[in-house]
A = this chain, B = another copy of it.
Amino acid sequence: MERTVFYISDGTAITAEVLGHAVLSQFPISLNQYTIPFVENEAKAHEVRQQIDDLYQKTQQKPLVFYSIVSPEIRAVIEASQGYCQNIVHTLVAPLQQELGIAPLPSAHRTHGLTASNLVKYDARIAAIDYTLAHDDGISLRNLEEAQVILLGVSRCGKTPTSLYLAMQFGIRAANYPFTADDMDNIQLPAALKPFQHKLFGLSIDPERLSAIRQERRENSRYASLRQCRMEIAEVEALYRKNNIRFLNSTNYSVEEISTKLLDILGMSRRMY
């Protein structure tokens, strides 16, 4: 079964997308998805309504519409379409209103917006991205006292995407340090990292997956060989154990999962942006 779905918002539509997608993925259907952000006036809303109605005429099946729009006038245009319309935030706001005993003030809010009240937090998040880039891949071992996490691992095990996700999503200053083939004869924790044992976190990965990833980069190289990958993983895991460094095998996890598991394991609290 295939259904068309629209994620519509007067803002970025990121919340509508994330939530709508989470809801729809509970059902065994394939999706044809459209995201329409910044529906900020009635003219734009009428355009979108036309698109929904045209599709209904063509397919004789109601397009699914997950929307979040503050203005009642703009919202009304979408609701008058022939789609199956679900106001995602409102569905959850209504019951909460009863529990809180106060009315919502929806006009005040842009979920991913920049306002005077969150500017300081936002700037700290951008500073975390800067810090993380400047401390990617062992580029700099200076100012490591400012890092909140220092990721360790061999080439292509996921250090860089994880560090960037931690910075982007959670505003965490994440440095990362690579162990290379040259380190393997006598693998040791660099002296510069030793004072920061409490914030070190190791990544590991199945040698088969590592080899497949490295093949993409340098086909048929020693670097990508299963034998080399097996040896490197055995060495770094031994190093993690010897130095009591907490670590995670990233093979079956996305950057979102690796990042949140890391925060959970290190007992770090999450800030939201």
Contacts and interface: CB of A to CB of B under 8 A. Distances in A.
A125 to B, nearest CB: 8
Contacts of A169: 14
B122 A254 contact: yes
Given A3-B100, A26-B93, A257 B11 contact: yes
Given A17-B272, A92-B86, A106 B26 contact: yes
A27 B99 CA distance: 12
Classify chain A's interface size. Answer: 35 or more
Interface stretch (A72-80, A140-148, A157-165, A226-234): A157-165
Contacts of A4: none
The majority secondary structure among interface residues of chain A is helix
Contact of A260 (B38, B64, B129, B130): B38
The complex is assembled from copies of this chain, and their number is 2
A111 B38 contact: no
A260 B13 contact: yes
Given A19-B92, A22-B111, A123-B213, 11 more contacts: A12-B259, A17-B270, A21-B111, A23-B96, A27-B102, A35-B272, A37-B264, A86-B92, A91-B91, A113-B253, A122-B254
Interface of A: 1, 3, 11-15, 17-19, 21-29, 33-35, 37-38, 62, 64, 68, 84, 86, 88-89, 91-93, 95-97, 99-100, 102, 104-106, 108-114, 122-123, 126-127, 129-130, 133, 136, 158, 160-161, 164-165, 168-169, 213, 216, 252-257, 259-261, 264, 269-270, 272-273
